[in-house]
Structure 1
Amino acid sequence: MSNNQTLLDRSLRSVWHPCTQMKQHETYPLIPIRRGDGVWLYDVDGKKHLDAVSSWWVNLFGHNNPRIKDAIRQQLDTLEHVMLAGFTHEPVVALSEKLAGLTGLGHAFYASDGASATEIALKMSFHYWRNIGKTGKTRFISLQNSYHGETMGSLGVTDVAIFKDTYAPLLIQSAQVPSPDSRLAEAGESAEDFALRCASVLEQYLAEHHAELAAFIIEPLVQCAAGMGMYHPVYLSRARAICSQYEVHLIADEIAVGFGRTGTMFACEQANIKPDFICLSKGITGGYLPLSAVLTTDAIYQAFYHDATVKGFLHSHSYTGNPLACSAALATLAIFETDDVVHKNKETSARIFEKMQVLTDLPVEHLRHQGMIFSFDVQTANQQFSRQCYQAAIAQSLLLRPIGNTVYFMPPYTITEPEIDFMVKVSHDVVKAVR
């Protein structure tokens, strides 16, 4: 038995893989990865795969990045971890200062993953209103087709049936308002006009229900799990104004879209707004270590600052603000600063989208991009399109992970011109073959 097969058998016997019906691996084998370098993942047999999805949208500057590795290595020689309750350390303070400067919000609260960040923001919002005496504000709203994570609280504001329906009896109840996803606009209706129409529905809902609403949580500019649903930034502008008018918190879930993915450091910048909470994760450490953060306003922070312990935010986990993860995040932010990443991404984004025009000879629609997120929808009757597309692309050394009939690219920012050509050509061939 080969080392490859031995590893696969061991994994199937011992690991419960995420977002997976494990029985499917009887037919579709796992891919055992030995190492990564740049945009490439190398399996145990030496075959390489271009990571066009940044390993679930986390990798910004390529696998095996020397600057991030060196930062982690240096931190490892001094302090690997200390609890953040009653203690502090330089990496968490420096990172909090950096994030405050970038977001205009302060007092970063740390966790390990995006869903946990959503939980924190929801709890903070609810607890804030309770602390100031508005105890009736206990409910939340989100967009239709929204995704905010799969823990109990985050799943309560998620609107993706396959994740949510099984657990519905366990969840907080939330309401959804129409998504401004421009693919849903009427024929001849501009993305801006459609966004404004959706915002008017939001305004009507808040006018009627604001007394019971704690917060509106939204993925700025791109609803990723909805098949990269993209919308006009005017919706964010109106949402900010409407939430302010009716005293409802605005939570910006920038977990997937932050750190340069949408063309600016944070998506909210494109509407020139500041949310009441911002949730960050995924790319925050460049894809190296699990970390998430929630930042909020000084006014919200002050509502918890009290002699009574019960009025404090008593949320925690053992690895909060881990120094190694914070060091990776600081190195990631340093690359943005020294390498003018956001500006360079504009050039890369334009180049990728220009090359994607060759896809228009296929039955595709809504060819679109927002910064370094690229997507198109395939017109197909093939019920197995997503799985077959994944398998066919893997056979040609490309990692794609379609969402339904939506094919998307979210590659590391370090992708080169030949690698872009390879990514687009293989995608074209695969879609043509399996549609």
Structure 2
Amino acid sequence: MNALPTDPAVESRAGLLAVDADHLWHPWSPSRVSPDTVVAVSGRGCEVWDADGRRYLDAKSSGLNATLGYGCRPVIDAVNAQLSRLMTYDMGEGANVPAIRLARRVAELTGPPLTRTFFCNSGSEAMETCIRIARFYHAVLGAPRRHLVVSFENAYHGATMAAAACSAGSSPVAKEVTPAGFVTLPRPGRAADGAGALRDFLARHGDRTAAVLVEPVQSRGGHLLPDASLRAVRELCDRHGALLVLDEVTTGFGRTGRMFGYQHSGVRPDLLATSKGLTAGYMSLAAVTTTEHVFDVFDANKTKAGFVHGHTHSGHAAACAAGLAVLDVVESEGLVANAEARGAQLLAALEETRPLPYVRDVRGRGLLVSLELDGSRRAARVRAHMKDGGVLVRRTGPNVLVAPPLIVTRDETERIATALLAAVSATATPAP
């Protein structure tokens, strides 16, 4: 058996990975980690250090959630202060001050009609909550046959059972283990009528559809939903009585150069799911924000249904304190505008890759930028080349996804772009 982590020999990266291989089961990966796995031990700003003391510029914000980078003192102090006062209190039978204040703060940012927030723990739980609300909503209104949930190809809405059912192709056994009533349609195109597949589906099944789920920018590959298409989706939902659910788990709270991704189009959802940018990775928290109308359907039918759903840590006080502090930093430091400016800088730098025969697309909005190559093997080589050069990015299939913290500077953005251009050039041959 390998030595315990307290053994000095284990504190090296190799020693830690040996213990990891014996005891830890990683999410989203094969059963065992690879020898080049980064074992992060500390971070500051946009940089992290591994167990061997190597420094990296984290251009993927950990899991796209470290939007304020590492070591953000106002958030750390707010969490510590709340933990010293009251770590949490059962929201099923009571309330706590940070949860109350954060719900009001979110309502101020979203504006009417999005005024009511339900807190949970992760983006997956937020999407699960949206699906339950949508199905219960129609059932309470006397239309239980409205149970179909529509999402679009290449979407990722989470890892819980219903959320995963909305992520077609996420697992080779997905159809065998996921529940029924979930439909995947082709992604809306660029034209104003780019929601044609949805239009055709709702023409046939609109009276059975509970909700349509959309990411303004897909976190899996960075595909942008054109603003005109999102407006078309909103109109179709209104026409057929389906709820529009916007999954802004990744894009919410500044990532796209607006506080919320939907604000680019002027469309407002019936249900808004957020998580990653809400607490910037300092605590685990997610939010489902909805309209007073949706809330009132449940509130007016307490004896029939109410909303019997929740989690032990729903509205966790210290997590909500983190959320309040994060929003203070985002607003006081102008990070939404910085995301817009640095994203434009990055996209402009990557334009020179477009003529290359193995580059399929360059796209993005704000600090969610994707370089699509001609195969996953080439994308993996680009990612590895950048890691060797001290810059961490994410790969999803043939896409290299760049999503640094919103605090990233002009010089750091230039460093990311330079490293990516060099990696693309270095992997020009052989073919993927």
TM-score by length of 2: 0.91
Q: Which residue of 86, 89, 92 corresponds with 2:96?
A: 89
SS at match of 2:298: coil
Aligned to 1:110: 119
* Residue deviations 1:66-94 (CA, integer Å, cap 9, x gap): 11111112112211111111111110000
Aligned to 2:240: 246
Contact 1:110 / 1:293 at 8 angstroms: preserved in 2? yes
Contact 2:135 / 2:210 at 8 angstroms: preserved in 1? yes
Letter in structure 2 aligned against 1:346: E
C-alpha distance 8-71 of structure 1, shift in aligned 2 (>3 A): same
Aligned to 1:185: none
Aligned to 1:318: 312
* Residue deviations 1:378-407 (CA, integer Å, cap 9, x gap): 235xx5334333332222111112112211
Contact 2:257 / 2:336 at 8 angstroms: preserved in 1? yes
Q: Distance in 2 between matches of 1:431 and 1:404?
A: 16
Aligned to 1:186: none
Structure 1 vs Structure 2 CA RMSD: 1.8
Aligned residues: 415
Q: Distance in 2 between matches of 1:296 and 1:284?
A: 16
Q: Which residue of 391, 402, 406 corresponds with 2:399?
A: 406
Aligned to 1:371: 366
* Residue deviations 1:331-374 (CA, integer Å, cap 9, x gap): 11112222222223332222222232343464423222211111
Aligned to 2:154: 145
Query: Gaps spanning 5+ residues in structure 1: where?
Result: 182-190
Q: Distance in 2 between matches of 1:320 and 1:264?
A: 27
1:56 matched to 2:63? The reply is yes
Aligned to 1:45: 52
Q: Distance in 2 between matches of 1:318 and 1:400?
A: 34
1:176 matched to 2:169? The reply is no
SS at match of 1:85: coil
SS at match of 2:86: coil
Contact 2:46 / 2:405 at 8 angstroms: preserved in 1? yes
Aligned to 2:31: 22
Which runs of structure 2 are paired with 1:388-427 in the superposition (5 Å)? 388-427=381-420
Letter in structure 1 aligned against 2:143: K
Contact 1:285 / 1:328 at 8 angstroms: preserved in 2? yes
Give identity over the alignment, percent. Answer: 27
1:136 matched to 2:136? The reply is no
1:3 matched to 2:11? The reply is yes
SS at match of 1:169: helix
Q: Distance in 1 between matches of 2:257 and 2:52?
A: 37
SS at match of 1:334: helix
Q: Distance in 1 between matches of 2:311 and 2:388?
A: 41
Aligned to 1:355: 349
Letter in structure 2 aligned against 1:150: A
Aligned to 2:424: 431
CA shift for structure 1 position 428: 1.8
CA shift for structure 1 position 201: 2.9
Letter in structure 1 aligned against 2:297: A
1:12 matched to 2:18? The reply is no
SS at match of 1:366: strand
Contact 2:272 / 2:288 at 8 angstroms: preserved in 1? yes
C-alpha distance 308-423 of structure 1, shift in aligned 2 (>3 A): closer
Letter in structure 1 aligned against 2:50: D
C-alpha distance 421-58 of structure 1, shift in aligned 2 (>3 A): same
Q: Which residue of 292, 296, 299 corresponds with 2:290?
A: 296
CA shift for structure 1 position 2: 5.6
Q: Which residue of 134, 141, 148 corresponds with 1:125?
A: 134
Letter in structure 1 aligned against 2:185: V
TM-score by length of 1: 0.91
Contact 2:342 / 2:413 at 8 angstroms: preserved in 1? no
Q: Which residue of 224, 227, 241 corresponds with 1:230?
A: 224
Letter in structure 2 aligned against 1:215: A
Q: Distance in 2 between matches of 1:371 and 1:106?
A: 26
Query: Gaps spanning 5+ residues in structure 2: where?
Result: 1-8
Contact 2:188 / 2:196 at 8 angstroms: preserved in 1? no
Q: Which residue of 204, 207, 215 corresponds with 1:208?
A: 204
Q: Which residue of 329, 336, 340 corresponds with 2:330?
A: 336
Contact 1:375 / 1:409 at 8 angstroms: preserved in 2? yes
Q: Distance in 1 between matches of 2:171 and 2:291?
A: 31
Contact 2:215 / 2:225 at 8 angstroms: preserved in 1? no
Structure with the largest fraction of helix: 1
Deviates more, 1:127-136 or 1:1-10: 1-10
Deviates more, 1:244-253 or 1:266-275: 266-275
Q: Which residue of 150, 164, 171 corresponds with 1:155?
A: 164
CA shift for structure 1 position 375: 1.6
Contact 2:17 / 2:35 at 8 angstroms: preserved in 1? no
Contact 1:178 / 1:198 at 8 angstroms: preserved in 2? no
Q: Distance in 2 between matches of 1:322 and 1:170?
A: 31
Q: Distance in 2 between matches of 1:75 and 1:223?
A: 34
Aligned to 1:188: none
Q: Distance in 2 between matches of 1:248 and 1:119?
A: 17
* Residue deviations 1:241-295 (CA, integer Å, cap 9, x gap): 1111110111011111111112211111111121110001111102211111101
* Residue deviations 1:387-433 (CA, integer Å, cap 9, x gap): 33333222211111211221121101111222222211222222222
